[in-house]
Amino acid sequence: MPNGGPDCCGNCSHNKAVQEMAHPQPEPRERFWQISHCTLRNVKVSNPFWTYCKNFNYGKHPESRTQDEQLNGWITASGLYEGYVRIPWDHNNEPHVSIPTTCSICGRKTDEGIEINHNDAILGFCTNRHYIEWWLSVHHDDSFQADHFESPEERFKRKKLSGI
């Protein structure tokens, strides 16, 4: 199994795939991915082992889950690797990570950026930092802070030094 941390949708009792299939070694894996859907938040989960939220409930006995619990915070995805970090979804819109894009904040082109479809426009970002800066401009929620993430200057200097 991929390992994005134990508290992911792939191990959560609110995930339809966990409810219906063997846990924690679901086979066939393709079907597990295909039917992964959060029944609490009613949202498709396309990357179950790298998606998280604070309503996580370990899925050993999904039948005993609380089905009407209050939603707690944002769904998060694994961000670009700078150490393991989590970045918030835009409500039920999922950011796509590690793909080529042009940053809508600074104009930098990168092979490993972040993209999100927001109001039918595809927005790109060079770093977790610039994604979070955009996200804060839309959501005004201080549960995330841009300066907790690597700046483009730090990230691209580090990549140059390591020859990536």
Single out the residue of 14, 37, 65, 130 in contact with Zn ion (rule: CB under 5 A): 130
Our CB check for Zn ion shows the closer of 106 and 122 to be: 106
Our CB check for Zn ion shows the closer of 29 and 159 to be: 159
| 129 lines the binding site for Zn ion (CB under 5 A) | no
Single out the residue of 52, 74, 131, 149 in contact with ligand SF4 (rule: CB under 6 A): 52
Our CB check for Zn ion shows the closer of 18 and 103 to be: 103
Q: Are 84 and 41 in contact (CB under 8 A)?
A: no
CA distances from 102 to 40, 93, 96, 129 (A): 34, 19, 13, 14
* Ramachandran class of 162: left when φ > 0, alpha when ψ lies in -120 to 50, beta otherwise: alpha
What 3-state DSSP class applies to 158?
helix
For the segment 75-114, give every residue that binds Zn ion (CB under 5 A).
Answer: 103, 105-106, 108
| C-alpha to C-alpha distance for 61 and 15, rounded to whole angstroms | 12
For the segment 69-128, give every residue that binds ligand SF4 (CB under 6 A).
Answer: 75
Our CB check for ligand SF4 shows the closer of 55 and 128 to be: 55
Locate 42 and state its tokens: 């009613």
Our CB check for Zn ion shows the closer of 35 and 114 to be: 114
- Residue 97 near which of ligand SF4, Zn ion, none (CB within 5-8 Å, type-dependent): none
- One-letter amino acid of 61: H
What 3-state DSSP class applies to 25?
coil
The rounded Cα 93 to chain-centroid distance in angstroms is 10
Stretch near Zn ion under the rule CB under 5 A, chosen from 59-67, 85-93, 129-137, 155-163: 129-137
Site residues (vs ligand SF4, CB under 6 A):
9, 12, 14-15, 38, 40-41, 45, 51-53, 55-56, 75
